[in-house]
Amino acid sequence: MKRILVVDDERNIHYSFRRIFKGRYEVLSAYDSKEGMRKLREDQPDLVLLDVKMPYEDGIEVLRRIREEFPMLPVIVMTAFGTTETAINAMKLEAYDYLLKPFDVEAFSELVAKALEVRGFLESIGGQKSPIPPQESELVGQSVLMQEVYKMIGRLARTDATVLLWGESGTGKELIAKKIHEHSSRRDCTMVAINCAAIPESLIESELFGHEKDAFTGAAARKKGLFEVADGSTLFLDEVGELSLPIQAKLLRFFQEREIYRVGGKEPIQLDVRIVAATNLDLEEALKRGTFREDLYYRLNVVRLNLPPLRARRQDIPLLVEHFLGKFRSELANPYLHITQETMDVLLAYTWPGNVRELENTLREAGLKAKGGKITPLELSIPPYTLDLDPEASRTGQEEPFEASLERFLMKNPGTAFDRLEEATVRRALEISKGNQVKTAQLLGITRNVLRHRIKRYHILDA
């Protein structure tokens, strides 16, 4: 019978595991890190279930010691709260997986069975069960989707693999790139970043690859490009889908030969640069249109990490709100800045087409407007608050609270409410802007690319 060692200071956890695995596995118990390491050496279990917050040492330090002494032993880390840094650090230490307490018994049993079957194939993360601490970075979230992102960051941090980050505007692609770099072996060098869409076509080649003196009019001296600056480090190419085909060809050469030529240069320059690229465009569609090279796509798409939009992880909104309010209390010199429950309800109901960036900008503006530090729905400049969610009610000439109108809208549109609300928002914004897409994007707080995607998705201009 396979043996499972449970290292957790909560006795009810041990009792639960004995009941769950009765007759299938032998459950051994340790109530702190010292006892856990002693039983590991004496009893040689097949699997360890490890909590994070315990007496003497936390679970991450115990996991580090386990990896030193028992490198092939699968460890599942258990936690009540999965924070960013704990998750990534546990992942780097090759935990098999992690569980957020409380967990689903059936899913947990399947996980344990798989861990025992594939002993030696180690992956995943951890967390901690104290109240959620303030996070040092802007990367905030406790949802299952974000936990998966943290797990992937940990996996990627152990390699030099090229990464393609895909996500809508405002989902935090550069933050993810920084986190991958910070936890990689290249972390002692500063990550170099460029927004490919923000550099004029005439300058992008020189910016990326540098130029020799007199290579073109105005080139008074030799200049290193960002590839050379990033030698030994990570180069983050944001909006890589906006690069022209000639620049794509030069980028492809770097992947093939690991070398570049400066503009006007004749000698190749060998470089050691890790590439993390990002886009909010559908590159598969770009391939079909012929605007993106297929060979470059496969060079970039070695590992693809899709970042979830904010509407898909609404449970993270309260955490993000408190995170941003904490920052704005200092930035706006208003220590009493807070939101009402009604305001939170509105924030949770909104679809956030501009994602986390839009949430941050909305709260900053609301904080500036707030009287006495209290942010009410009246201070929120988000389109759904101006939408007529129930035209029939509006024809009576009687106004009603937004919350009641929203509730009726949700009840009338089960399963499709978010999409219908988003479509209505885009249509109304286009009407207000009289079809001007630049003004519409500004009104919604999103990029023109995202707006074009929404127009195409809902066939708004087809009618």
What pLDDT digit, counting tens, does each position of 371-396 carry? 778 898 888 887 644 444 444 444 44
The three-class DSSP label of residue 391 is helix
Q: How far is Cα of residue 344 from the mean position of the Cα atoms in its chain?
A: 22
Please state, in angstroms and rounded to a whole number, the distance separating the CA atoms of residues 123 and 148.
Answer: 12
181: part of which helix (H) or strand (E)? helix 173-182
**Contact at 8 Å (CB) between 312 and 167?**
no
Instruction: Please check whether residue 143 lies inside any domain of the structure.
Output: no
* pTM, full prediction: 0.60
Range of the domain at 189: 159-306
Categorize the per-residue pLDDT at 127 as very low, low, confident or very high, splitting at 50, 70 and 90.
Answer: very low
Half-sphere exposure of 391 (CA within 13 A, CB side): 1
Give the mean pLDDT of 25-46. 90
Instruction: Please check whether residue 141 lies inside any domain of the structure.
Output: no
Of 328, 389, 388, the C-alpha closest to 359 is 328
Instruction: Please check whether residue 340 lies inside any domain of the structure.
Output: yes
Give the mean pLDDT of 249-261. 93
Categorize the per-residue pLDDT at 237 as very low, low, confident or very high, splitting at 50, 70 and 90.
Answer: very high
Give the mean pLDDT of 64-87. 79
Please state, in angstroms and rounded to a whole number, the distance separating the CA atoms of residues 441 and 202.
Answer: 26
**Contact at 8 Å (CB) between 79 and 129?**
yes
Please state, in angstroms and rounded to a whole number, the distance separating the CA atoms of residues 150 and 225.
Answer: 31
**Hunting for tokens 């010691």 — which residue is that?**
65
Kindly tell me if the per-residue pLDDT of 332 is higher than 80: yes
Q: Are 265 and 318 in a shared domain?
A: no
Work out the number of other CB atoms within 10 angstroms of the CB of residue 218.
8
Predicted local distance difference test score (pLDDT) of residue 123: 32
Kindly tell me if the per-residue pLDDT of 249 is higher than 50: yes
pLDDT tens per residue, range 103-122: 778 888 888 888 887 553 33
Domain C-terminal end among 336, 363, 381: 381
Instruction: Please check whether residue 361 lies inside any domain of the structure.
Output: yes
Please state, in angstroms and rounded to a whole number, the distance separating the CA atoms of residues 58 and 69.
Answer: 17
pLDDT tens per residue, range 389-448: 444 444 444 445 556 666 666 766 666 777 777 888 888 888 788 788 888 888 887 878
Q: Are 347 and 299 in a shared domain?
A: no
Pairing of strands 47-51, 3-7: parallel
Predicted local distance difference test score (pLDDT) of residue 394: 40
Q: Are 126 and 205 in a shared domain?
A: no
Of 85, 115, 140, 103, the C-alpha closest to 8 is 103
Overall domain count for the chain: 4
- CATH no. for residue 225? 3.40.50.300
The answer to whether the Cα torsion of 125, 131, 135, 138 is positive or negative is positive
Which residues, other chains included, contact 371 with Cβ-Cβ below 8 Å and sequence gap of 6+? Answer: none
Give the mean pLDDT of 450-460. 82
Q: Are 369 and 405 in a shared domain?
A: no
Predicted local distance difference test score (pLDDT) of residue 171: 92
Question: Does residue 134 have a cis peptide bond before it, meaning omega lies within 30 degrees of 0?
Answer: no
Q: Are 223 and 282 in a shared domain?
A: yes
- CATH no. for residue 128? 3.40.50.2300
The three-class DSSP label of residue 28 is strand
